[in-house]
Every structure is written in structure tokens, then in C-alpha cells.
Amino acid sequence: MHDLDSMFFPKSVAVVGVSNDGMGGGTGFFNRLIKGGYPGKVYPVNPKMTEVQGQKAYPSVSAIPETPDLVIMGIPATAVADALRDCIAAGVKNVHIFSSGFTETGEEKGRILDREITAIIKNSDLRVVGPNCMGIYVPKSNLAPWGNTPKGSGPLAFISQSGGHGQLITEFAQTLGIYFSKVISFGNARGLGAYDFLEYLKTDPDTKIISCYFEGMTDGNRVTRLIREINHTKPVIVWKGGLTESGARAIASHTGSLAGETKVWDAFYAQTGAIRAESQEEILGVTQLFLHSSPPKGRRVLVFAGGGGNSVALSDTCSREGLVVPHISEETRQELNKMIRLEGNSVRNPLDIFSVHFDLKTFSRVLELVSADPMIDMILINRSVSDPENGMFHTDTTAEKRINEYIIEFAKKNADKIPLAIALNIHSHRPSPANSAAKVWLEFAEAGVPVFGSTTSAARAISRYISYHEFQAKEKARN
Amino acid sequence: MHDLDSMFFPKSVAVVGVSNDGMGGGTGFFNRLIKGGYPGKVYPVNPKMTEVQGQKAYPSVSAIPETPDLVIMGIPATAVADALRDCIAAGVKNVHIFSSGFTETGEEKGRILDREITAIIKNSDLRVVGPNCMGIYVPKSNLAPWGNTPKGSGPLAFISQSGGHGQLITEFAQTLGIYFSKVISFGNARGLGAYDFLEYLKTDPDTKIISCYFEGMTDGNRVTRLIREINHTKPVIVWKGGLTESGARAIASHTGSLAGETKVWDAFYAQTGAIRAESQEEILGVTQLFLHSSPPKGRRVLVFAGGGGNSVALSDTCSREGLVVPHISEETRQELNKMIRLEGNSVRNPLDIFSVHFDLKTFSRVLELVSADPMIDMILINRSVSDPENGMFHTDTTAEKRINEYIIEFAKKNADKIPLAIALNIHSHRPSPANSAAKVWLEFAEAGVPVFGSTTSAARAISRYISYHEFQAKEKARN
């Protein structure tokens, strides 16, 4: 059993800074533990109260009759040092400090408090997450004191110096049918840091894919070596914030980290083969491919689309993101010519065959034909979303639904033969089509077909997914 | 009166290729003219019928008792040459050829037909739009035979070698409260081309902003000079498709154009100062700023946000798009410090003040304070959208609405003092928040406050808007 298991799967949690009026910094954590169905014992701590929300409150952690496996601190920065000493006295091992007000404030007062708590942590056996962070979110143990209430647990881990990024990703992910093993928001990292969490996740049987949001990095060489090693077996996706001058300034105000230079981080990506991302959506985009798609043999993508100008735009986008939109083979083209009227269509790549998007029979024949073409490594379907309230885009929704169902079936049946992804084409910002798009999105996502809200995000994710496999193939050849 | 006025404001239109079974290529155009309330006379033409949809049909254009101002042809490519000769015989001046099946097919048959019709056009007085295009859309004359039924006419013109782009932009635009003077889809450009339309729009009193989608360009030097000239008084936004290898190939299949080299087009943008765009949304994004925003004095943007990681991401995005997120002045910071709790917030730039987004009183005091800061040229508000079905983001929607109303009022009152734009923060792909986001979007758009679905699109539009003004200032200084 790993040291950190008692932190991720605690049998009891104490929350310091819980009140009845909702003002205590720990109150939100306390409420969510209860609401989220956390099965262990939860102890509210507040020296000024004997009862909090109907539960007996304790004046300190050391006053609790058992030693809680995890202590969450939501108290003023000035009270953290004493609370840590109390935890040490009580024999506590795992502490999450939510409190902020340290170096990140840029004020001398915060820096002094920071030095004080850092010294206490370093001279103790405490395993501390934070301060200035949201802490730990483990759906499997129903430990979800922040973020979206988990509907399930899954293979993705996210370690993040931003609590906001952590919270948002839990929401975005669930709408793509992606679930987490662990989400760890670790803020200023005065105790445990990236290395410790990565070391745990490396052998964590519940984690298959690791994503990270870093602002700074202490111990960079060791983390780099570890990520390179892990990346051979578990893909590591890294979002590095603050790689611009303005971003680096924002980092100083956020976690007080040093952002580091762009060239250092370029070298990091080049050495580790870690997958780049720049948002929650980009992390989840490439995760969809790792979860649901076999690796394409190469960068040649068949774009199944409609509309001539649209085909040009799709080609430009794929090309800019590093994919190739090649000629299909002459044999395939001749077969397509037999099915598709020449006027107003193009049976080149992209397939500009608008009417076929509402004609299941032809759609399925075309898809089967092109997916067998040896010139093609992957299929990207640019799928329009109809708009029930607008004449121009009010297409045959029954046909649309049947074709979507067919695509899902095809993708599953052919998962090992040819990877397939969907880029939705959304025509409007009005509520009605936004609603339709969200429904179609869920339909594909829940069925495990990689789906994207734009061709740019689809092509970028596919390109990075391929880059990962190219890097690993080179690594293998070298060793 | 300009020659092309009779094309844009025709008193009568003949549609060649109209049938009762919906199969004729002109039927859709015919139906939309009727449905869209086009007030002039509409003549269906079909040599095999005496009546089409209850209206007397004519065997040819020359058989119509008057000479129609505009003829729309939706017939097979092989029939176009004869129909053109018939138009010449009838004394017709303006023709839109919807029919495709020419050079863009890549087949010898199409090339022969193309040469034939090109010769007829060149040796006649016909003003021809097309072939292989959607033609003309003029809300002011209720001439809307394709695209979204116009809810109004407005100052934006769009000339496009893609009919699909033209159709989609009419839908996107209306959801941003942007309306068109003219949309012209001109496809293969065998008669009228970019130069002719630009020459018309230059002096068109209904057009204040001109946007273009080009695939190829004949007569490049002349068009470049004209765009540079027009751009001094009417901003010209140019989306050039096919600037990648794959995109150029797609163009050959679409309008049969030669895409041209990237360096040639880079020179075009550098010489003309035309505003770059790569999608309908990018065209409309920068158009919002031209319509509703005074030019910022410089590139220094104040980002009004919430969340530390979010602030880093916003800074990185602004910086990558060419904006600066500077320090605010020490005076402003000290004033903010008096209103905002230090812990968990940052009163630097970006303003990381999450709780203030639901507190009208503080929100308005902060906004008024920072907008008066001399270090700031523009304000970008990163505004979250709450989610009625999700506890985590179910914030106070009443407060949210009141703050949105306040922002709208503030933006209007201070339009000349400090430009302001909104970037929505959307947390999910689920229908309920998608719906909320669409509603908030419309709220701002209808009030004339520039609004964007992501910070990337906001920052990109702002940066291009500033570049336009920088270019024109240099031009002015030189002349």
C-alpha cells in the first residue's frame, strides 16, 4: 500500500473552519462531503462552537477522539501555522490547506506566513497539499468536497496548480463521458508537489492517462525524467500556464510560482514526449482519442463533409494542425463516381457531398468504401447539426438521427481497423441549435465516439494523438 | 445609378429550371423568392411545362412578355450555353448561373462546357454572376432566394466564392444582431468578379464594412490596389481560403481557382491593410467591434475575470493574440485593495475577483475604477454563464442578469471613453448551460455589446481591430 492511499481513500476527514453561517472557509468542503455521500466519518472543527450544522464540533483536531486520516483547513492564513502544529500533535498524516494569503499576495505579510508554514511542514512528517488550492477529489472513495458531483470514476487523473481548472474539468469531462481516478489541486505546493503525485499515479491501477496543469516547477529535472518514463505506458498530457509574459505575471499573483522560460518548456516537451494542451477542453479532446480510438497508422485523414467552401476551410484547418488531407485512391474515386452525382459535389478529399448527410443508404456505402482506402489513415466526419426553428437548416432530423446511430455502430465495429472522429458544424449562436448541438454531442460522447465542437479542436487533438505515438515509436526503436 | 443596381434591386426575376416536383435546380430559388416576400414579378421558366406551382410557366426567357431584370439559372451545365443565348436574344442584362458541372469537376467535359459559356459571356453585354454559386442576396430589396430569411438589412457586405459560406454567415450574423447590405456568392467568376463587386460596394451608401471570401484571384494587382483604397474609408475583411497545400487542392475541386502562394497573400495583407479572417465567425467578430466599439488607443487590455488559473489562461491567450495585459496603476490597485479581500483574490491584471461577478455594487465600483485607469486601453470582461441544472455552477442568476444589464448600460454610456467586450466562459457541453450561454450571448449582442464565445476569439478580433487602426494611422502619416 502506498503512503498516499490514506489521503486518497481516507476513513475519516476533519474540516477545520466550518461554521453555521456559511462563512467559514471549510464550510463548502464540509457540505459537499456530506452531500456527495462520503461514507467515512466527518468531523467539523471550530474552537468557537460546540455544534456545527447539527454535528458535534471540536475545538481542535487534537480534541477529536480518533486521528482523522485527512484534515482539510479552511481558515485564515494567519491561523494555519497553529492548526498545523495541532495536527502534528494529534498524529495526523495528511493535510489539505485550502487557505490562501501567502506568497501569491505579493505582500510581505504573506511571505512571512509562507516561510513559517513551510518550515513547519519541512520539519514534520505531514503530507501537505497546498496551501491555496482545492485539494483532493477521488470519485472512487466518494471524496468529492469540490467540483462536480461525480457520476462515476474512470481512468483519467488530473494534477493541477489551479483549483478552478480542476473544478471545471470535472464538469466538462462528464459531458464527454470521461471520468476521473483522482483530481488533485495542489496550489502553491509547499508540501507535496508534482513529483510526489506523479510517482503515485505511475503505479496507480485506477489511472491510465495522466493530465497536468503546471504553473511553475521545482525539481524540474527529476519531474522531467519521471514524466518521460511514465509516458511510455501512461500518456502524460501537460498544460503549462504562463508561457507568455502576461501569463507569467498572472502566475506570480496566483500561486507565486516562477513560470520558467519558453525554451526550457519546449525542451521539456521534446525530451518527454508529453502531450501539449492549453485548456481543459484540449486535455479532454486528446483523452477521448486515447480512450476510444486505435492509433492511426499515419497523418492522412479523410474528411467527410459537405459544401465546397467548407471543404476548403476544413482542409486548411487540418493542414495547419499538422494533418494531411491526401488524394484518395483512383479506384475509390471511380467507385464514388458511380454513386454520387458530379454536379455540385466533389468525390475528392474532402468529400463534398452535402445531400449524402441525410441519406443513410448512400452515407453508409460511402463510409465503408473510403474507410477501406489504403491512402487513408483516419476518418474525420464533419457533421452538421440541424436547427428545429430555422427553415434553412431544418433538415430531416429523423434521417440525421439514424445516420448518427449508424456512425456510432460503424465506429465501434471498425475501432481496430480505422479510427474515426466527429467534428460538429454548428451554424448559429441561438438557443435552439445550441441545444440540438449539445444533444448530438452527448449522443456521440456517451457512445464513446470522439466528438469535437469544431474542426480546429478535432484536428489539433488528432495531430497530438499521432505525435504521441510517433514519439513512442522512436523511443522504442532507440531502446 | 450604377449598372449593377438593376441586379441588386430587380423589378422582375425569371428562374430557369423550376419544376413542380422540387427537382429542378431553380426550384429552391423560386420558392424562396415567393416565401421571402420578394415584391417584384417572378417568372418560372421550363420548356416542358405550361404551369409551375400554380403560375404560368414560360418555355424560355425570350417568351416572357417583359425582359426580366435578373435571370437565375438552375439547369444542367449542358443546357447553360443555350439558355445564355436565349437571354441575349431577350435583351436580358443580369444573369446568375447556379448550375455547376464545369472546370471544378476536374473532367474534360466540364472544361469544354466552361470554355463555351465563357466565350458567350465575354462576347456579350451580359453581367453574369457564377457559374457554380448561390448568387445575390439583398435584404433591402427582399431579394433573398437563399440563406436565412433576413430580419433586417444593415451595413455589412459579404462577397464570397463559396455559397455555403454565404448562407452560413447570414445565419451567424443575425444571432449577433448584424445585418447585410448585400451578400454575393460568385463561384467560378466567369463573368463578374471580385473587382466589379468591390467597385460597386466602394460607393454603395448602404455598405459600411466589406467582407470577402476568396479562393483565387484573377487581376490580382488591380484588386489589391482597389482594396487598399477602399480600406481607408470602409474596412475590408478578407478570408483567403486554400493557403495550405490541402486547402489549395480543395479549391481546385470547388471553384476550379488557383489558390496562389502564401507569400503573395502575405504581401496582399501587408500592402492593403485588409483585416485577416479565417471563418465566418472571425469576420463577424471583428465586425462587431467596427460597429459598436470606438478604437482603443493601444493594445493594453484590462481583463476582468475570476479564478487564478483562469487568469493565467486568459493572459496567455491575450498575449498570444498580440494584446498586452499590463500592470494597472498603483493608485488603482490601492483603491481596489480597499474594496476586495486579499485572500483568494488578486487585484492585479487580470482581476481575479470571482465573488464580485455576482455582487452588483462592487462590480460596478470596480468597473468604473479600472476603466478610468490611464494604463488601460480596453476592457475585456470574462463572464461566466451559470447552469440552472448543475449545483456547482448554479450561481445567483438574478444577480447575474442585473450585472449583465449594468454592463450593457456602462458600455453604452462609455462607448467613446473606453471600449469594452465580453468573452463568455462556458463550463459544459450539456444542453442546459448551452442554452443559458446562447441566451446571454443574445442579450449582449442585441444590445450592441461585442460578445464572443471564447477568449481566443475575443482577443483575436480585438487585436485585428487595433491592427486596422494602426495601419490606417501609418497610411495617414505617410500621405
- pLDDT tens digits for range B110-133: 999 999 999 999 999 999 999 999
DSSP label at residue B3? T
Res A231: pLDDT: 98
Q: What is the mean pLDDT of residues B233-260?
A: 90
Nearest to A164 among B100, B215, B309 (CB): B309
Res B281: pLDDT: 94
Res A432: pLDDT: 82
Beta strand B236-240 with B275-277 is parallel
Task: Quickly state the pLDDT bin for B105 (edges 50, 70, 90).
Answer: confident
Res B312: pLDDT: 94
Res. A148: pLDDT tops 70: yes
Which positions in chain A touch B147 (Cβ < 8 Å)? 392
- Secondary structure (3-state) at A320: helix
Instruction: Report how far residue A395's alpha carbon sits from residue A287's, in angstroms, rounded to the nearest whole number.
Output: 32
Residue B206 has a CB neighbour count (10 Å cut-off) of 17
Which positions in chain A touch B342 (Cβ < 8 Å)? 101, 105, 107, 110
Q: Across the interface, do B445 and A429 touch by the CB < 8 Å criterion?
A: yes
Q: Give the dihedral sign, CA B213/B217/B219/B224.
A: positive
| Residue listed under C-alpha cell 452527448 | A442
Per-residue pLDDT tens digits for A242-281: 999 999 988 887 888 887 788 999 999 999 999 999 999 9
Which positions in chain B touch A213 (Cβ < 8 Å)? 309
Q: Across the interface, do A346 and B310 touch by the CB < 8 Å criterion?
A: no
- Secondary structure (3-state) at B97: strand
Q: Which residues pair with A73 in a beta bridge?
A: A16, A97
Instruction: Report how far residue B225's alpha carbon sits from residue B291's, in angstroms, rounded to the nearest whole number.
Output: 25
Q: Across the interface, do B278 and A316 touch by the CB < 8 Å criterion?
A: yes
Nearest to A319 among B165, B244, B393 (CB): B244
Decide if the complex's ipTM is over 0.95: no
Which positions in chain A touch B132 (Cβ < 8 Å)? 344
Which positions in chain A touch B178 (Cβ < 8 Å)? none
Helix, strand, coil in percent for chain A, rounding step 5: 45, 20, 35
Res B387: pLDDT: 76
Instruction: Report how far residue B429's alpha carbon sits from residue B397's, in angstroms, rounded to the nearest whole number.
Output: 19
pTM: 0.94
Per-residue pLDDT tens digits for A394-432: 667 788 889 999 999 999 999 889 999 999 988 777 888
Poorest-pLDDT segment among A132-146, A432-446, A460-474: A432-446
Q: Across the interface, do B241 and A308 touch by the CB < 8 Å criterion?
A: no
Cell of A136: 483532493
Task: Quickly state the pLDDT bin for A327 (edges 50, 70, 90).
Answer: very high
B277: nearest CA in chain A?
A313
Res B392: pLDDT: 67
Which positions in chain B touch A314 (Cβ < 8 Å)? 250
The residue among A324, A351, A429, A444 with the most chain B CBs within 10 A of its CB, best to mutate, is A429
Res. B342: pLDDT tops 80: no
Most confident by average pLDDT, A290-299, A338-347, B431-440:
A290-299
Poorest-pLDDT segment among B154-163, B256-265, B266-275, B470-479: B256-265
Nearest to B434 among A342, A352, A437 (CB): A437
Per-residue pLDDT tens digits for A442-453: 999 999 999 999
Res A460: pLDDT: 98
Res A255: pLDDT: 82
B132: nearest CA in chain A?
A344
The residue among B265, B282, B312, B343 with the most chain A CBs within 10 A of its CB, best to mutate, is B312
Residue A261 has a CB neighbour count (10 Å cut-off) of 11
Res A36: pLDDT: 86
Poorest-pLDDT segment among A112-121, A250-259, A292-301, B190-199: A250-259
Comparing C-alpha atoms, which of B178, B171, B144 is closest to residue B38?
B144
Nearest to B172 among A167, A310, A428 (CB): A428
Helices marked H in A194-307 — which ranges?
A: 194-203, 220-231, 245-254, 262-272, 280-292
Output b/e per residue, A301-318; b: 16+ Cβ within 10 A: bbbbbbbbbbbbbbbbbb
Q: Check: CB of residue B410 under 8 Å from CB of residue B364.
A: yes
The Cα of A478 is separated from the nearest Cα of chain B by a number of Å equal to 33
Which positions in chain B touch A107 (Cβ < 8 Å)? 342
Instruction: Report how far residue A459's alpha carbon sits from residue B427's, in angstroms, rounded to the nearest whole number.
Output: 22
Instruction: Report how far residue B127's alpha carbon sits from residue B114's, in angstroms, rounded to the nearest whole number.
Output: 16
Which positions in chain B touch A435 (Cβ < 8 Å)? 431, 434-435, 438
A315: nearest CA in chain B?
B247
Cell of A19: 461554521
Nearest to B343 among A100, A247, A311 (CB): A100
Nearest to A318 among B132, B246, B309 (CB): B246
Cα atoms found within 13 Å of the Cα of residue A201, Cβ hemisphere only: 33
Res. A387: pLDDT tops 80: no
Instruction: Report how far residue B12's alpha carbon sits from residue B38's, in angstroms, rounded to the nearest whole number.
Output: 9
Instruction: Report how far residue A61's alpha carbon sits from residue A75's, in angstroms, rounded to the nearest whole number.
Output: 13
Q: Across the interface, do A343 and B76 touch by the CB < 8 Å criterion?
A: yes
Q: Which residues pair with A95 in a beta bridge?
A: A71, A128
Task: Quickly state the pLDDT bin for B397 (edges 50, 70, 90).
Answer: confident
Cell of A53: 450544522
Nearest to B255 among A243, A308, A319 (CB): A308
Instruction: Report how far residue A260's alpha carbon sits from residue A103's, in angstroms, rounded to the nearest whole number.
Output: 17
Q: Across the interface, do B247 and A315 touch by the CB < 8 Å criterion?
A: yes
The Cα of B250 is separated from the nearest Cα of chain A by a number of Å equal to 5
